[in-house]
Amino acid sequence: MAGITQADLERRLHIGTVDDAELDGLLSGIFPLGQYITDREMVRTNGSATLAIRYSKKGRISGLVPGGAFTEELATQIERDVADKLLVASVSRAARVVLFAHVPVAGYWRYRNRIALRPVPEGSPRPPIELADHPLVCEILFDGAVDPWVNAYRSQREVRKLTLLLTLLVPGLKIPNQSAQGWVLTPSLSGHDFQGPAPVFKSEYAQHGYVPNPIIGPNDSLAPQGELPDMELGPIPIGIVAGAVLTLPEDIEACLDAYFGLSPEDQRVLLRAAYWLNAATDVFHTSRSASFQFLIQAVEALITTPKDQPKCSECDRTIGVGPTALFQDFVGTYAPPTGDSADAGAHKLLYNKRSQLTHGHSLLMTDEETGFMGPGPASMAEMQLHGQAAQVCRSAIVGRLRAHGRDS
């Protein structure tokens, strides 16, 4: 009997039809041992049979080459798993995760039958001060699966995409870093009476994270609003005002419509920009210089360099439009400066400052070893420029998304 051929195996496993990551995960469960060959090939084995998995430049599976004791029985088993787990009709499933906002959350908001935001359940831990990370529940309805592993993967994939998107559209919203570990002080300040004596602190190495009281909701739909008031929509205030609650942009629904109207590749590019904005928030307290660079990179993720630009006849270097001009043109189009001359000047400084930081020629003064002296006028100006960069870059990226929505 002839062995299993590459073409036959690829046809039977529906390569190019099923989701590549899901197929890759299924195969890794059947062939648990793997050897890295090149950046485009991995050889997996179950101890007897082997399977070489080849990938395209974009990471998609481009070839499945059976080897060793790869029997018809094994091929049939994998074919059945693909049919039962990856090719069956999807089922509606709801994922629930915790996000943080810069102000408390007091209402309920829902985008069609896809996303909902609401406060954490009553009795869940909350910060004792306003200038803190305030937890909220984000619910996401997605096309899940009956198989637990496939469902978990689809849940994580959709949660990552849509929570990144929400951090782009809603200033002050961020994704918790649940994987970090570090030294913390105990007891917690959450229940401390600040009018009483100071607590005696001890150090403890612990996992970062937030666990609310049990979040109750249906497995296949978003939880109802109940008696929660509608979340406020309107202009997003700059900074934190005493007594403020989370406010969402007035056009958030239109922006989400625009996102879901994008092609998969354009969605991927936009989420890449959202990733860099989120990273800028994550590293802000560690390195404001890195945070500033990430803000500019978020915009650069959306900029396309024109093709077929002229080149110098002597050195063969491109002499067309450079990155600074492309950046300024993009920002000028989607987040133009106001009539204020200082604002216009700040727009021009953004990319120049980024270039100095990227090439290692300088750091923002708050990252230099300057001791414990108060900030001087130069460092205050840099801090103001960082704040302007955060606003301008976010506005430009969202402005580009709004333009897509108007054009569609």
What is the sign, positive or negative, of the torsion defined by CA atoms of 379, 380, 383, 384? Answer: negative
Give the Cβ contact number of residue 289 at 10 Å.
23
- Same structural domain for residues 103 and 71? no
Question: Which residues does residue 97 pair with via DSSP β-bridges, in sequence order?
Answer: 138
Which of 237, 260, 283 lies at the terminal end of a domain, its last residue? 260
- Same structural domain for residues 278 and 366? yes
- Same structural domain for residues 297 and 362? yes
Residue 267 forms part of a structural domain: no
- Same structural domain for residues 39 and 178? no
Residues with Cβ within 8 Å of 286's Cβ and at least 6 positions away in sequence, in order, are: none
Asked whether 144 and 159 are in contact (CB, 8 A), the reply is: no
Residue 40 forms part of a structural domain: yes
- Same structural domain for residues 213 and 295? no
Residues with Cβ within 8 Å of 18's Cβ and at least 6 positions away in sequence, in order, are: 82, 86, 87
pLDDT of residue 1: 38
pLDDT of residue 407: 77
- Same structural domain for residues 353 and 249? no
Give the Cβ contact number of residue 215 at 10 Å.
15
Report which DSSP code applies to 221: S
Residue 236 forms part of a structural domain: yes
Distance, in Å, from the CA atom of 23 to the CA atom of 150, rounded to the nearest integer, reads 10
Distance, in Å, from the CA atom of 325 to the CA atom of 351, rounded to the nearest integer, reads 9
Closest CA to 278 of 134, 153, 148, 174: 174
> Residue 43 carries which side chain, given as an amino acid letter?
V
Residue 266 forms part of a structural domain: no
Residues with Cβ within 8 Å of 23's Cβ and at least 6 positions away in sequence, in order, are: 13, 15, 61, 82, 86
How many domains does the chain divide into?
A: 3
- Same structural domain for residues 81 and 160? no
pLDDT of residue 94: 97
Which of 55, 85, 115 lies at the terminal end of a domain, its last residue? 85
Burial readout 290-301 (b: 16 or more C-beta within 10 A, e: otherwise): bbbbbbbbbbbb
Residue 256's domain spans which residues?
91-260
Which of 51, 85, 119 lies at the terminal end of a domain, its last residue? 85
CATH number at residue 24: 3.30.310
Distance, in Å, from the CA atom of 86 to the CA atom of 269, rounded to the nearest integer, reads 26
- Same structural domain for residues 231 and 95? yes
- Same structural domain for residues 80 and 97? no
Tokens of 251: 């056009």
Tally helices (H) and strands (E) across the chain: 10, 12
Residues with Cβ within 8 Å of 120's Cβ and at least 6 positions away in sequence, in order, are: 98, 105, 126, 135, 136, 137, 212, 213, 215
Distance, in Å, from the CA atom of 408 to the CA atom of 404, rounded to the nearest integer, reads 6
- Same structural domain for residues 139 and 198? yes
- Over the chain (408 residues), the average pLDDT of each successive run of 10 is 83 95 95 94 94 94 92 96 96 97 95 97 90 94 96 97 97 88 79 73 89 91 95 82 89 96 95 96 90 93 81 70 83 81 69 77 78 68 84 93 85
Closest CA to 183 of 147, 166, 207: 207
Residue 316 forms part of a structural domain: yes
pLDDT of residue 160: 97
Distance, in Å, from the CA atom of 326 to the CA atom of 331, rounded to the nearest integer, reads 9
Place of tokens 């084995």: 45
Residue 265 forms part of a structural domain: no
pLDDT of residue 216: 87
- Same structural domain for residues 191 and 113? yes
- Same structural domain for residues 305 and 368? yes
